[in-house]
Structure 1
Amino acid sequence: MLRILMKIGKVHPALLQRLVFTRRGAARGDVVVGPAIGEDAAVVDLGGKYLVTHTDPITGSVNLLGSLAVYIPTNDVAVRGVEPMWLSVALLLPPGASEHLLDAITRQMDEAARRLGVTIVGGHTEVTTAVTRPVAVVTAMGVGNRFVSTSGAKPGDVVVMTKSAGQEAASILASDFAEEALKRGVPAEALERARGLIAEISVAKEALALADLATSMHDPTEGGVANGLAEIAYASKVSIDVRREDVVVYREVEALCRAFRIDPLETLSSGVLLATVPRGRLGEALERLQKLGVPHAVIGEVKPPSGYLVKIGDRRYNEPYVEDKLFALF
């Protein structure tokens, strides 16, 4: 039997469909949304209310691990239009890890969870030879009266983004690869601004504010804005046209991504909310974001299926899979 080695990062959608999504155990009628390409979180009908739950491994940073362990999985609950409430955290530390490291990670987790009003209800912590750097595997949960799916985008909807493409990648590069960034000519002040972007990684407030307006919401993580849009298009069976010049990229993000030869539209972008909104309700959506003080931009439009998933300028994306070059640095 031919053994094909998989690339680092998310498993390709074709393999997920063949080897993961077809092996889900017993079927239950209370599962409203299960595993699917582009869907951020599972939805379970509790009888009048919905449990939204999502699990994420945090593997792309060491210095920001505790903060990302809270913000990233709670984002996936929030983009369902449901308030994140609880976290369960499995923390795996490599041999030789110090108490100082554990203290730094849990301190970040506590601060981020308090900021969001989320409770860490349980989990597991151990030192193991199975990892060579700290890893957190986190399940976020929340309960709501309704939910938004990734698959709801409709032709004619307008695409809105918040904050900056690539901002999560930039914060990681500025924290975990600061010395190398300086060697590559990134100014120290750009590194300082990029490190501050960790405070903008949560999308909870803007996602909850748009929950009753958006037809689809998504949190673009690995593969960035390009992959996030492709996942919305794939799940919704539509195409999406985006004006590249309208996609927001902060200067510090541009500087770091250029130094490491990473496309800011194709790398970790937690903190960006991608939302599709009916054109007739766009003004209301933008007004809400303005009141929250959340930077935002209108970047494109949902189209009927047109032979591609996403077109950004002259670049076309035909599958919901964009390789993220950040992971090659670890």
Structure 2
Amino acid sequence: MHLGKLPPEVLQRLVLSRRGAFRDEVLVNPAVGEDAAIIRLSGDKYLAVHTDPVTGSTRLIGYLAVYVPTNDIAVRGIEPMWLSVALLLPPSAREEDVDVITRQIDEAAKRLGVAVTGGHTEVTTAVTRPVAVVTAMGLGQRYVTTAGARPGDVVIMTKSAGQEAASILATDFREEALKRGIGADTLKKAEGLALEVSVVKEALALADIATAMHDPTEGGIANGLAEMAYASGVSIVVDRGRVVVYREVEALCKAFGIDPLETLSSGVLLAAVPRDRVREAESRLENLGVPYAVIGEVVPPREFLLRIGEKMYTKPFVADKLFTLF
């Protein structure tokens, strides 16, 4: 099989159709495009739970182990509160590697106010580089899904497409990037994007406005928007010229032959917002100092899930070329 996520048809047939026992307190089950499960607790409390493996980076794994799964809780409109981290290390790992990873986890978790409540750490021949498998949890009184986008809604993105991929290329592939003509200043800017992969503050700020929110990871904003359209039973039309791509992201992705719209984009929030509340959403993002752009709109279902410029996507699956570099 190819690297990365399973194709939707395989996922549905062999994974999503096998969910164990039915529990009526589980309000949002595993589904293509949905970021986290929602479980109703007593009263008006909702528990959001999500598990993510971090496999696309080595030098940034600690930061990503916190930011990526907590994003999936935050786009539910729920504050992430707790993490459980399983860290698998190859026999070649050193104590210094553990030190770097755990310091990154500690720093990122403190920045978000999230507690690391447990997990597991071991050295195993089952992996050839460090892998973190993280479960994030949060508690709230309301929630947002990926499936709520409605025709007429406007689509907003924050920050830059492909920024997570650029930070990985600038760190894990630094020497190769230099050989391909990327300057030191560009690499330094791209490295800094590793600290911009959290969407917690902007997602929570839009939680009572957005009809749907999503955290685009593998396959980038193209995959994220296609998943949102698929989950919502709509189509989405995007003006490519409005999609933000930072210069350092554009340079690195071009050097490695990767489309910045089709690669790891943690740090981007995708939100569908009712047209009459767009200015309110913009104002909240401006007050937070979060860069954003209005990039498209939700329309009734058509022959495509997503159209970006002239390119059409008919499935909620975009292969991410970054994974072929490892």
Task: Report the TM-score when normalising by structure 2.
Answer: 0.99
Structure 1 residue 184 corresponds to structure 2 residue 184: no
Give the whole-Å Cα distance in 2 for the aligned partners of 1:150 and 1:115: 26
Give the whole-Å Cα distance in 2 for the aligned partners of 1:291 and 1:23: 44
Structure 1 residue 31 corresponds to structure 2 residue 59: no
For 1:21, the equivalent position in structure 2 comes to 16
For 2:130, the equivalent position in structure 1 comes to 134
Give the whole-Å Cα distance in 1 for the aligned partners of 2:31 and 2:242: 29
Give the whole-Å Cα distance in 1 for the aligned partners of 2:99 and 2:91: 16
Partner residue of 1:281 out of 277, 283, 287:
277
Alignment of 1:108-147 (within 5 A): 108-147=104-143
For 1:148, the equivalent position in structure 2 comes to 144
For 1:3, the equivalent position in structure 2 comes to none
Alignment of 1:190-269 (within 5 A): 190-269=186-265
For 1:70, the equivalent position in structure 2 comes to 66
Residues 34-56 of structure 1: CA deviation (Å, up to 9, x unaligned): 10000000000002210000000
Structure 1 residue 85 corresponds to structure 2 residue 81: yes
For 1:162, the equivalent position in structure 2 comes to 158
Shift of 1:156: 0.2
Residues 61-105 of structure 1: CA deviation (Å, up to 9, x unaligned): 000000000000000000000000000000000012100000000
Give the whole-Å Cα distance in 1 for the aligned partners of 2:32 and 2:122: 32
Structure 1 residue 61 corresponds to structure 2 residue 73: no
For 2:303, the equivalent position in structure 1 comes to 307
**Aligned-partner residue type, residue 85 of structure 2:** V
SS at match of 1:85: strand
Shift of 1:14: 0.4
Shift of 1:265: 0.1
For 2:4, the equivalent position in structure 1 comes to 9
Shift of 1:250: 0.0
**Aligned-partner residue type, residue 267 of structure 1:** T
Give the whole-Å Cα distance in 2 for the aligned partners of 1:273 and 1:110: 24
For 1:43, the equivalent position in structure 2 comes to 38
**Aligned-partner residue type, residue 29 of structure 2:** G
The number of aligned residues is 325
Identity across aligned pairs (percent)?
A: 71
SS at match of 1:88: strand
Residues 107-166 of structure 1: CA deviation (Å, up to 9, x unaligned): 000000000000000000000000000000000000000000000000000000000000
Residues 252-293 of structure 1: CA deviation (Å, up to 9, x unaligned): 000000000000000000000000000000000000000000
SS at match of 2:5: coil
Give the whole-Å Cα distance in 2 for the aligned partners of 1:170 and 1:12: 24
SS at match of 2:117: strand
Which stretches in structure 1 are left out of the alignment for 5+ residues?
A: 1-5
**Aligned-partner residue type, residue 162 of structure 2:** G
Give the whole-Å Cα distance in 2 for the aligned partners of 1:62 and 1:268: 15
Give the whole-Å Cα distance in 1 for the aligned partners of 2:196 and 2:77: 18
Shift of 1:243: 0.2
Give the whole-Å Cα distance in 2 for the aligned partners of 1:191 and 1:264: 16
**Aligned-partner residue type, residue 90 of structure 2:** P
Q: CA RMSD in A?
A: 0.4
Shift of 1:199: 1.3
**Aligned-partner residue type, residue 46 of structure 1:** L
Give the whole-Å Cα distance in 1 for the aligned partners of 2:13 and 2:149: 25
Task: Report the TM-score when normalising by structure 1.
Answer: 0.98
**Aligned-partner residue type, residue 27 of structure 2:** V
4+ long deviations beyond 6 Å? none
